[in-house]
Amino acid sequence: MCFIGRTGASSAASWIWRRMLRQVIHRGLKSSFYWLGLFVSRHPVFFLTVPAVLTIIFGSTVLSRFKPETDLEILVAPTHSLAKIERSLANSLFPIDQSKHKLYSDLHTPGRYGRLILLAKSGGNILELAEQVLQVHKKVLDMRVNYKGFNYTFAHLCVLSHRDKRCLLDDIITIFEDIRLAVLSNSTFSKVPDGRVSFIGHQLGGVALPANSRDQQVKFARAIQITYYLRNLGPVVQDIISEKWESEFCKLVHQLATDSQELHIQSLTSFSLWRDFHKTGVLAKSEVLVSLVLVLLAATISSSMRDCLRGKPFLGLLGVLTICIANVTAAGIFFISDGKFNSTLLGIPFFAMGKCGFVHRDCGDCM
């Protein structure tokens, strides 16, 4: 019984202490907001003009300094993560230009690149379409990118081989050139003419081997992929040109896919994932506008009453407008401090509105 009595006394004392603390906090907040409202009411011009001017200034910086975040790793990994350290180590130990079989390691990404995927239509054999494949390859090599009055091709931007300082190309290109020469000379292509060894297992897709063959020669393949590696360790200007080359590469592949009668052609670049990620912000425009309309409608309805004198729908709309102005100002400060936009930031204003709604409701219950 003594134990129960002590427990009940301690719980009653803690309840009294919490109630006293809540009353002190409530009185302090009520008094501070009273004096804040009194101060604002005595200086209406200042609090109407200064926030408007600040919103205009910071809002203009949103338009002038808007930069999307292009590095997706920043969104998912910190700068000191072990993955980035291990990737830099892999880049230093296994560079693309010195790889034995010109095959980039799975430990790291190949930097900037454009990848061409060609698939024979109607289940055909891609090995029988060597001429069409090489024509597409030639158009990629001849594609020009204009930057400040100068035209750049793949030869100006490619990763150079460590041995002969020539553009690093996949061995599948040489194989298809040998196949074309064999077709033109009415001979059968079976082995690489000069006896060199090439690893092209990652460049052929849908491979089928003959049923009863001892030499295991590839007679049929549905698709191939060709990767064009671009230098990405140079100055910033070179990275900008490489980015333009990737963009023009995607446009060219789309045009070739439309015109080709025998090949399905697809493209993949180093910024393909970023492009799709950035499109989420563009695709979310309609959802954001609908959400904003619903928030305005909810603010109007929640501030309306049957009594016209007590109902204040315009006050609810003004509250939403105030939150929007605060978000624009915060976005301006964010971009001034060298922040970069990504589509995950689109939901922050609505979190702010929801939080403000809960605070407003709680304060109304307290009053």
Nearest-CA neighbor of 226 among 175, 262, 188? 175
Q: Is the whole-model pTM more than 0.85?
A: no
**What pLDDT digit, counting tens, does each position of 196-232 carry?**
566 677 788 888 777 766 666 777 889 999 989 888 7
Q: How far is CA 307 from CA 278, 298, 299, 312, 367, in A?
A: 48, 18, 17, 10, 19
Task: Single out the residue of 286, 260, 18 nearest to residue 124, CA to CA.
Answer: 260
pLDDT in tens, 14-67: 788 888 888 889 998 899 989 988 998 898 899 888 888 888 888 888 777 777
**Two tokens, residue 78:** 């910190």
The Cα–Cα gap between 292 and 290 comes to 5
Q: How far is CA 118 from the centre of its chain?
A: 26
Q: What are phi and psi of 315, to 5 degrees?
A: -70, -35
141: confidence class by pLDDT, cuts 50, 70, 90: very high
Between CA 190 and CA 16 the distance in angstroms is: 92
The C-alpha atoms of residue 150 and residue 164 are separated, in whole angstroms, by 26
Side-chain-facing half-sphere of 161: CA atoms under 13 Å: 13
> Does residue 101 register a pLDDT over 60?
no
Of 349, 352, 329, 281, whose CA–CA distance to 62 is shortest? 329
pLDDT above 70: percentage of residues in the chain: 77
Q: How high is the pLDDT of residue 277?
A: 73
The tokens for 125 are: 């054999």
Radius of gyration of the chain (CA): 33
Letter for the amino acid at 69? E
pLDDT at 196: 58
Q: What is the pLDDT of residues 303-330, one digit of tens each?
A: 777 766 677 778 878 888 888 888 888 8
pLDDT at 136 over 50: yes
The DSSP symbol for 228 reads: E
Six-digit token pair at 167?
A: 């553009």
359 vs 45 pLDDT, higher one:
45
pLDDT for the residue 363: 43
Is the model more confident about 238 or about 194?
Answer: 238
| Alpha carbon distance 173, 137 (integer Å) | 8
Q: Which residues of 84-101 are buried (b: 16+ CB within 10 A; e: fewer)?
A: eeebeebbeebebeeeee
Q: Which of 120-124, 246-250, 292-296 has the highest mean pLDDT?
A: 246-250
Mean pLDDT for 263-285 is 80
Q: DSSP alpha helices (H): ranges in 143-233?
A: 154-157, 171-184
Strand, coil or helix: what is 226?
A: strand
Nearby residues of 175 by Cβ (< 8 Å), 6 or more positions away = 192, 198, 200
pLDDT, position 356: 52
**DSSP single-letter state for residue 158:** B
